[in-house]
Amino acid sequence: MIQLYEVKNKSDLKRFVKFPFSLYQDSQYWVPPIISDEVATLSADKNPAFEHAEARFFLAIKNNKVVGRIAAIVNWLEVKEQGVKKMRFGWFDFIDDLDVSKQLLNKVAEIGKSHQLDYMEGPVGFSNLDKNGALTEGFDHLGTMATWYNYPYYITHFKKLGFTTEKEYIESKFSFGNLPVERFIRANDIILKRFNLKAGSYKKASEIIPHLDSMFDLFNLSYSKLSTFVPVSAAQREYFKKKFINFINPEFIKFVFDANNNMVAFAIVLPSFSEALQETKGKLFPFGFLKLLRAKKQSDTALFYLIGVDPHYQNKGVTAIIFKEMHEAFLSHNIKTCLRLPELADNVASHQIWKDFNAKIIKRRETFKKML
């Protein structure tokens, strides 16, 4: 018999966070989160997303053993201000037992109906900067710190339970050697002069911090038309600054400014921490943080996390400035492989940026929807 148990305290929350560690213990592709960071993300007293959202967490128990988990999320900013009556669900993991997945999803549906919402969608997080999408292709590729991994049977469960595809995302890979460097250099010189722009490159995290608020402003502006968009609040900005500042290599952060020092484009690229996170097994101490620090300096793989361009400068070649600057940083750090993290499959503007990179799609993921 399967019982659902709602998380009520920190001890329960740790059980919730640790369940995937047992589910994926035999997977060579699953990348664990840092346990303390994951607990903070799901804690109302730590994550400012709870200012505009509420979440309830459930464990599925069978024979006194955790066999599944799910987070039921309502983003009230999305519901009340944007009029999107969506019940979100995420952090959804389960054994290959249809009764388990069904009961967990039914609980989310029950909560959604109690709030008079129209449909449920997942797996998604609180906002655009959280992980989203269930993997539908590319199960034999290593995961990343910015994405969820899942077994193929998850998709079978969604379909059997009446869910349909809502959004599709793609992830791709290209070799650093395939960067069309000469074209970027020529375009860089032309674009800088034509629009009176300048590039910002940095060696220290302290040099980046003064520009982060402008970056978040530009993020909200440049991503506002996407169907998944939920604005990042001031409190969330501070939270993400603290959360990611230790993971960034300042040389991989690029900004572009106009003549008045207004930011018109940005790129956030992270070193890959996947192998290091697997070695740490979710723990920073006693030696986990040293493994992450080593990866930050020595990883030969770079993850393109976010790129944003002011709508006024879109389709004007501004990204050539970013790629020219990034090429120089990659050379000095012996980067060999570049990965593009999930992008909406129908985001044509984004795909145009990468058309000359000879990128190969290695993963696809989807969010799934069901009317309430």
DSSP assignments along 191-254, one per residue: HHHHTT-EEE--SSHHHHGGGHHHHHHHHHHHTTTSTT--PPPHHHHHHHHHHHTTT--GGGEE
Cβ-Cβ contacts under 8 Å for 289 (sequence gap 6 or more): none
- List the one residue out of 229, 221, 227 whose CA is nearest residue 314: 221
Backbone angles phi, psi at 92, to 5 degrees: -105, 110
Query: How many whole angstroms separate alpha carbon 5 and alpha carbon 12?
Result: 9
Q: Under CATH, which number does the domain 174-364 receive? A: 3.40.630.30
Please give the chain's pLDDT, 372 residues, in tens: 899 999 999 999 999 999 999 999 999 999 999 999 999 999 999 999 899 999 999 999 999 999 999 999 999 988 998 899 999 999 999 999 999 999 999 999 999 999 999 999 999 999 877 899 999 999 999 999 999 999 999 999 999 999 999 999 999 998 877 666 777 788 888 899 999 999 988 888 889 889 988 998 898 888 777 666 677 777 887 887 777 777 788 999 999 999 999 999 999 999 999 999 999 998 988 787 888 889 888 899 999 988 889 989 988 889 889 888 888 899 889 999 999 989 888 877 777 777 777 889 999 999 999 999
pTM: 0.92
Distances (CA, A) of 363 to 142, 269, 353, 366: 10, 19, 19, 10
Domain limits, the chain: 2-171, 174-364
Rg of the Cα atoms in the chain = 21
**3-class state of residue 178 by DSSP:** helix
Q: Would the CATH topology of 2-171 be identical to that of 174-364?
A: yes
Whether omega before 311 lies within 30 degrees of 0, making that bond cis, reads no
Q: Under CATH, which number does the domain 2-171 receive? A: 3.40.630.30
Dihedral of the CA atoms 152, 157, 159, 160 (nearest 10)? 140
Distances (CA, A) of 358 to 172, 321, 331: 10, 19, 19
CB-side exposure of 239: number of CA atoms within 13 Å? 21
